Protein backbone atom coordinates (compact mmCIF):
# COMPACT_ATOMS: atom_id res chain seq x y z
CA UNK A 1 0.00 0.00 0.00
CA UNK A 2 1.54 3.33 -1.05
CA UNK A 3 2.27 5.85 1.69
CA UNK A 4 2.52 9.63 1.92
CA UNK A 5 6.24 9.22 2.54
CA UNK A 6 6.62 7.44 -0.80
CA UNK A 7 4.78 10.26 -2.54
CA UNK A 8 6.97 12.86 -0.82
CA UNK A 9 10.05 10.93 -1.97
CA UNK A 10 8.65 10.69 -5.50
CA UNK A 11 8.18 14.48 -5.71
CA UNK A 12 11.56 15.18 -4.10
CA UNK A 13 13.36 12.82 -6.51
CA UNK A 14 11.75 14.40 -9.55
CA UNK A 15 12.67 17.88 -8.34
CA UNK A 16 16.27 16.91 -7.53
CA UNK A 17 16.82 14.87 -10.70
CA UNK A 18 18.79 12.35 -8.65
CA UNK A 19 18.05 9.80 -5.93
CA UNK A 20 21.25 10.83 -4.16
CA UNK A 21 20.45 14.55 -4.13
CA UNK A 22 16.86 13.83 -3.10
CA UNK A 23 18.11 11.72 -0.19
CA UNK A 24 20.38 14.56 0.97
CA UNK A 25 17.54 17.09 0.81
CA UNK A 26 14.93 15.05 2.70
CA UNK A 27 17.23 13.32 5.18
CA UNK A 28 17.02 9.72 3.94
CA UNK A 29 19.75 7.45 2.67
CA UNK A 30 20.15 7.01 -1.07
CA UNK A 31 19.32 3.33 -0.66
CA UNK A 32 16.06 4.13 1.16
CA UNK A 33 14.97 6.56 -1.55
CA UNK A 34 15.76 4.09 -4.30
CA UNK A 35 13.93 1.28 -2.54
CA UNK A 36 10.80 3.41 -1.93
CA UNK A 37 10.65 4.41 -5.60
CA UNK A 38 11.13 0.79 -6.69
CA UNK A 39 8.37 -0.35 -4.31
CA UNK A 40 6.06 2.34 -5.68
CA UNK A 41 6.83 1.33 -9.26
CA UNK A 42 6.14 -2.31 -8.39
CA UNK A 43 2.81 -1.46 -6.76
CA UNK A 44 1.68 0.72 -9.66
CA UNK A 45 3.10 -1.63 -12.29
CA UNK A 46 4.76 1.18 -14.28
CA UNK A 47 8.22 2.72 -14.61
CA UNK A 48 8.22 6.21 -13.04
CA UNK A 49 11.78 7.30 -13.93
CA UNK A 50 14.30 6.77 -16.68
CA UNK A 51 17.67 6.10 -15.04
CA UNK A 52 21.00 7.18 -16.55
CA UNK A 53 24.48 8.13 -15.39
CA UNK A 54 23.51 11.79 -15.49
CA UNK A 55 20.49 11.30 -13.22
CA UNK A 56 16.80 10.47 -13.44
CA UNK A 57 14.00 11.80 -15.65
CA UNK A 58 10.27 11.14 -15.16
CA UNK A 59 8.64 8.97 -17.82
CA UNK A 60 5.41 10.18 -19.41
CA UNK A 61 3.34 8.11 -16.98
CA UNK A 62 5.71 9.24 -14.24
CA UNK A 63 4.82 12.87 -14.99
CA UNK A 64 1.12 12.07 -14.58
CA UNK A 65 1.77 10.19 -11.33
CA UNK A 66 3.81 13.16 -10.09
CA UNK A 67 0.87 15.50 -10.62
CA UNK A 68 -1.40 13.12 -8.69
CA UNK A 69 1.19 12.90 -5.91
CA UNK A 70 1.45 16.70 -5.66
CA UNK A 71 -2.35 16.96 -5.50
CA UNK A 72 -2.54 14.35 -2.73
CA UNK A 73 0.19 16.06 -0.72
CA UNK A 74 -1.55 19.42 -1.16
CA UNK A 75 -4.81 17.95 0.14
CA UNK A 76 -3.14 16.39 3.17
CA UNK A 77 -1.40 19.70 3.91
CA UNK A 78 -4.80 21.43 3.72
CA UNK A 79 -6.23 18.92 6.21
CA UNK A 80 -3.38 19.60 8.63
CA UNK A 81 -3.71 23.38 8.27
CA UNK A 82 -7.47 23.29 8.77
CA UNK A 83 -7.10 21.15 11.87
CA UNK A 84 -4.46 23.54 13.22
CA UNK A 85 -6.73 26.53 12.60
CA UNK A 86 -9.58 24.76 14.39
CA UNK A 87 -7.26 24.28 17.38
CA UNK A 88 -6.27 27.95 17.32
CA UNK A 89 -2.90 27.27 15.71
CA UNK A 90 -1.45 28.56 12.44
CA UNK A 91 1.42 26.63 10.93
CA UNK A 92 2.43 25.09 7.66
CA UNK A 93 4.15 26.26 4.50
CA UNK A 94 2.85 28.94 2.15
CA UNK A 95 4.40 28.85 -1.33
CA UNK A 96 4.09 32.15 -3.19
CA UNK A 97 5.14 33.20 -6.70
CA UNK A 98 5.40 36.78 -7.88
CA UNK A 99 6.33 38.89 -10.88
CA UNK A 100 9.48 40.95 -10.13
CA UNK A 101 7.84 44.36 -9.69
CA UNK A 102 5.51 43.13 -6.95
CA UNK A 103 8.26 41.06 -5.31
CA UNK A 104 10.62 44.01 -5.00
CA UNK A 105 8.28 46.87 -4.14
CA UNK A 106 5.08 45.54 -2.63
CA UNK A 107 5.67 42.12 -1.11
CA UNK A 108 8.17 42.92 1.68
CA UNK A 109 5.64 44.94 3.67
CA UNK A 110 2.83 42.51 2.93
CA UNK A 111 4.82 39.44 3.98
CA UNK A 112 6.06 41.23 7.10
CA UNK A 113 2.52 42.04 8.22
CA UNK A 114 1.32 38.51 7.44
CA UNK A 115 4.19 36.96 9.39
CA UNK A 116 3.28 39.05 12.44
CA UNK A 117 -0.13 37.39 12.38
CA UNK A 118 1.20 33.90 11.67
CA UNK A 119 4.78 33.68 12.99
CA UNK A 120 4.84 29.86 12.78
CA UNK A 121 4.11 29.79 9.05
CA UNK A 122 7.04 29.05 6.75
CA UNK A 123 6.92 31.26 3.63
CA UNK A 124 8.60 30.26 0.38
CA UNK A 125 8.81 32.92 -2.36
CA UNK A 126 9.66 32.33 -6.03
CA UNK A 127 10.15 35.24 -8.44
CA UNK A 128 9.53 34.78 -12.15
CA UNK A 129 7.78 36.10 -15.24
CA UNK A 130 4.15 35.32 -16.08
CA UNK A 131 4.98 32.20 -18.12
CA UNK A 132 7.10 30.75 -15.33
CA UNK A 133 4.38 31.48 -12.80
CA UNK A 134 1.77 29.69 -14.95
CA UNK A 135 4.00 26.59 -15.04
CA UNK A 136 4.58 26.67 -11.28
CA UNK A 137 0.87 27.01 -10.65
CA UNK A 138 -0.17 24.22 -13.04
CA UNK A 139 2.35 21.80 -11.49
CA UNK A 140 1.42 22.78 -7.89
CA UNK A 141 4.89 24.11 -7.16
CA UNK A 142 3.28 27.18 -5.59
CA UNK A 143 -0.05 27.77 -3.84
CA UNK A 144 -0.80 31.35 -4.91
CA UNK A 145 0.74 33.94 -7.19
CA UNK A 146 0.89 37.67 -7.89
CA UNK A 147 0.81 38.10 -11.66
CA UNK A 148 -0.35 40.45 -14.40
CA UNK A 149 -0.97 38.03 -17.29
CA UNK A 150 -2.47 34.88 -15.73
CA UNK A 151 -2.98 31.73 -17.77
CA UNK A 152 -6.55 30.93 -18.82
CA UNK A 153 -6.67 27.87 -16.57
CA UNK A 154 -6.04 29.94 -13.44
CA UNK A 155 -8.67 31.61 -11.27
CA UNK A 156 -7.91 35.17 -10.21
CA UNK A 157 -8.83 37.87 -7.72
CA UNK A 158 -8.18 41.55 -8.66
CA UNK A 159 -5.70 43.27 -6.39
CA UNK A 160 -4.49 46.63 -7.76
CA UNK A 161 -3.99 48.71 -10.88
CA UNK A 162 -0.47 49.68 -11.88
CA UNK A 163 0.10 52.56 -14.31
CA UNK A 164 2.73 52.66 -17.03
CA UNK A 165 5.08 55.64 -16.67
CA UNK A 166 7.54 57.39 -18.99
CA UNK A 167 10.92 57.76 -17.26
CA UNK A 168 13.05 60.80 -18.13
CA UNK A 169 16.10 62.54 -16.58
CA UNK A 170 15.03 65.14 -14.01
CA UNK A 171 16.65 67.88 -16.11
CA UNK A 172 14.89 66.88 -19.36
CA UNK A 173 12.93 69.65 -21.15
CA UNK A 174 9.73 67.59 -20.80
CA UNK A 175 10.19 66.84 -17.10
CA UNK A 176 7.36 69.12 -15.91
CA UNK A 177 4.67 67.69 -18.17
CA UNK A 178 1.61 66.19 -16.44
CA UNK A 179 1.39 63.45 -19.09
CA UNK A 180 3.36 62.44 -22.19
CA UNK A 181 2.32 60.92 -25.51
CA UNK A 182 4.58 58.22 -26.87
CA UNK A 183 5.14 60.15 -30.11
CA UNK A 184 6.83 62.87 -28.05
CA UNK A 185 9.62 60.46 -27.08
CA UNK A 186 9.48 58.05 -30.04
CA UNK A 187 12.70 59.40 -31.59
CA UNK A 188 14.72 58.81 -28.40
CA UNK A 189 16.91 55.80 -27.73
CA UNK A 190 14.68 53.36 -25.85
CA UNK A 191 15.76 51.13 -22.97
CA UNK A 192 13.40 48.14 -22.84
CA UNK A 193 12.95 46.38 -19.49
CA UNK A 194 13.54 42.66 -19.96
CA UNK A 195 9.97 41.73 -19.10
CA UNK A 196 7.57 40.00 -21.48
CA UNK A 197 4.57 41.57 -19.74
CA UNK A 198 5.76 45.11 -20.50
CA UNK A 199 6.54 44.26 -24.13
CA UNK A 200 3.09 42.73 -24.59
CA UNK A 201 1.34 45.75 -23.05
CA UNK A 202 3.20 48.18 -25.32
CA UNK A 203 2.45 46.08 -28.41
CA UNK A 204 -1.25 45.84 -27.52
CA UNK A 205 -1.35 49.63 -27.31
CA UNK A 206 0.40 50.13 -30.67
CA UNK A 207 3.59 51.39 -29.07
CA UNK A 208 6.64 50.15 -30.97
CA UNK A 209 9.78 51.84 -29.62
CA UNK A 210 13.13 51.65 -31.38
CA UNK A 211 14.81 49.46 -28.78
CA UNK A 212 18.47 50.35 -28.32
CA UNK A 213 19.10 48.46 -25.09
CA UNK A 214 17.32 45.62 -23.29
CA UNK A 215 18.13 45.50 -19.57
CA UNK A 216 16.85 43.32 -16.72
CA UNK A 217 17.88 45.29 -13.62
CA UNK A 218 15.52 48.18 -12.89
CA UNK A 219 18.07 50.34 -11.08
CA UNK A 220 20.49 49.95 -14.02
CA UNK A 221 17.75 51.17 -16.38
CA UNK A 222 16.99 54.18 -14.19
CA UNK A 223 20.67 55.07 -13.93
CA UNK A 224 21.02 54.86 -17.73
CA UNK A 225 18.05 57.22 -18.08
CA UNK A 226 19.63 59.57 -15.55
CA UNK A 227 22.77 59.68 -17.72
CA UNK A 228 20.75 60.56 -20.88
CA UNK A 229 21.55 57.21 -22.51
CA UNK A 230 17.88 56.73 -23.33
CA UNK A 231 14.30 56.83 -22.04
CA UNK A 232 12.04 54.01 -20.91
CA UNK A 233 8.47 53.06 -20.04
CA UNK A 234 7.76 50.85 -17.07
CA UNK A 235 4.99 50.12 -14.53
CA UNK A 236 5.00 52.37 -11.48
CA UNK A 237 5.44 49.35 -9.19
CA UNK A 238 8.79 48.67 -10.85
CA UNK A 239 10.29 51.84 -9.47
CA UNK A 240 12.09 51.84 -6.10
CA UNK A 241 10.88 54.09 -3.29
CA UNK A 242 13.95 56.31 -3.72
CA UNK A 243 14.62 57.22 -7.34
CA UNK A 244 17.89 58.40 -8.89
CA UNK A 245 17.76 61.71 -10.74
CA UNK A 246 14.79 60.82 -12.93
CA UNK A 247 11.09 61.71 -13.15
CA UNK A 248 8.12 59.44 -13.83
CA UNK A 249 5.32 60.85 -16.00
CA UNK A 250 2.05 59.01 -16.86
CA UNK A 251 1.46 58.07 -20.48
CA UNK A 252 -1.28 59.76 -22.51
CA UNK A 253 -3.53 57.91 -23.21
CA UNK A 254 -2.99 55.99 -19.97
CA UNK A 255 -2.00 52.34 -19.93
CA UNK A 256 -2.70 50.38 -16.78
CA UNK A 257 -2.18 46.74 -15.95
CA UNK A 258 -4.16 44.81 -13.36
CA UNK A 259 -2.12 42.86 -10.83
CA UNK A 260 -4.09 39.87 -9.60
CA UNK A 261 -3.85 37.03 -7.12
CA UNK A 262 -4.04 33.71 -8.96
CA UNK A 263 -4.71 30.14 -7.82
CA UNK A 264 -5.63 26.91 -9.55
CA UNK A 265 -9.07 26.74 -7.92
CA UNK A 266 -10.45 29.00 -5.17
CA UNK A 267 -12.69 26.15 -3.98
CA UNK A 268 -9.79 23.85 -3.15
CA UNK A 269 -7.14 26.19 -1.71
CA UNK A 270 -5.88 25.59 1.81
CA UNK A 271 -7.15 27.66 4.74
CA UNK A 272 -3.69 29.23 5.02
CA UNK A 273 -3.75 30.29 1.36
CA UNK A 274 -7.25 31.71 1.82
CA UNK A 275 -6.07 33.71 4.85
CA UNK A 276 -3.19 35.09 2.79
CA UNK A 277 -5.49 36.11 -0.07
CA UNK A 278 -7.81 38.02 2.26
CA UNK A 279 -4.84 39.58 4.08
CA UNK A 280 -3.36 40.72 0.75
CA UNK A 281 -6.53 42.54 -0.31
CA UNK A 282 -6.90 44.21 3.09
CA UNK A 283 -3.22 45.25 3.00
CA UNK A 284 -3.64 46.91 -0.42
CA UNK A 285 -6.82 48.69 0.66
CA UNK A 286 -5.10 49.97 3.83
CA UNK A 287 -2.12 51.24 1.80
CA UNK A 288 -4.25 52.97 -0.86
CA UNK A 289 -4.27 56.43 0.82
CA UNK A 290 -0.46 56.42 0.74
CA UNK A 291 -0.32 55.42 -2.93
CA UNK A 292 -2.15 58.25 -4.76
CA UNK A 293 -1.24 57.11 -8.26
CA UNK A 294 -2.30 53.51 -7.71
CA UNK A 295 -5.77 52.15 -6.98
CA UNK A 296 -6.80 49.00 -5.15
CA UNK A 297 -9.46 47.02 -6.98
CA UNK A 298 -11.98 44.46 -5.92
CA UNK A 299 -13.57 43.73 -2.57
CA UNK A 300 -13.05 40.88 -0.15
Q: Where are the domains of the chain?
A: 4-87, 92-159+258-290, 161-256
- pLDDT the model gives residue 199: 84
Sign for the pseudo-dihedral over CA of 34, 40, 43, 46 = negative
**CB-based burial label for 183 (10 Å; 0-12, 13-18, 19+):** exposed
Q: Is 52 exposed, middle or buried (0-12, 13-18, 19+ CB in 10 A)?
A: exposed
Mean pLDDT by 10 residues, the chain (300 residues): 88 91 86 90 94 91 92 84 66 86 80 87 89 88 90 90 92 93 91 85 87 90 93 87 87 90 89 89 73 43
Say what the pLDDT of residue 292 is: 40
CATH topology of domain 92-159+258-290: D-Maltodextrin-Binding Protein; domain 2 (3.40.190)
Cross-strand pairs, 58: 49
> In this structure, are strands 190-193 and 295-296 parallel, antiparallel, or unpaired?
unpaired
Q: CA-to-CA distance for 69 and 71, rounded, in angstroms?
A: 5
Burial class of residue 239 in the structure, from the number of CB atoms within 10 Å of its CB (0-12 exposed, 13-18 middle, 19+ buried) = buried
Domain 4-87: which CATH number of 2.160.20.10, 2.160.10.10, 3.90.850.10, 1.10.10.10: 1.10.10.10
Q: Do domains 4-87 and 92-159+258-290 have the same CATH topology?
A: no
CA distance 142 to 145: 7
Q: Exposure of 6 by Cβ count < 10 A (0-12 exposed, 13-18 middle, 19+ buried)?
A: middle
Q: Provide the H-helix boundaries in the chain.
A: 4-16, 19-26, 30-44, 60-86, 100-105, 107-117, 130-138, 196-204, 218-226, 271-287
Q: Which residues pair with 232 in a beta bridge?
A: 167
pLDDT reported for residue 145 = 95
Q: pTM of the full predicted structure? A: 0.64
Q: How many CB atoms lie within 10 A of CB 272?
A: 24
Question: What residues contact 119, with CB distance under 8 A and at least 6 apart?
Answer: none
CATH of domain 161-256: 3.40.190.10
Q: What is the CA radius of gyration of the chain?
A: 23
Q: What is the pLDDT of residue 88?
A: 56
Identify whether the C-beta of residue 162 lies closer than 8 Å to the C-beta of residue 235.
yes
Amino acid sequence: MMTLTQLQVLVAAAKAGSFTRAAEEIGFTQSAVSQMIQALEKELGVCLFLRSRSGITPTSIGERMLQHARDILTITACMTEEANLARGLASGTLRIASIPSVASRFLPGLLGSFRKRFPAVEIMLLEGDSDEIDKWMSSSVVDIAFTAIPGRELQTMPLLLDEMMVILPDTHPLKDRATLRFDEIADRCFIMPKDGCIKKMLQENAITPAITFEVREVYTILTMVQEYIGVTIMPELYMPAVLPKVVAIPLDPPIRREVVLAVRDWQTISPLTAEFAVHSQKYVQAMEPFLPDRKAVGEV
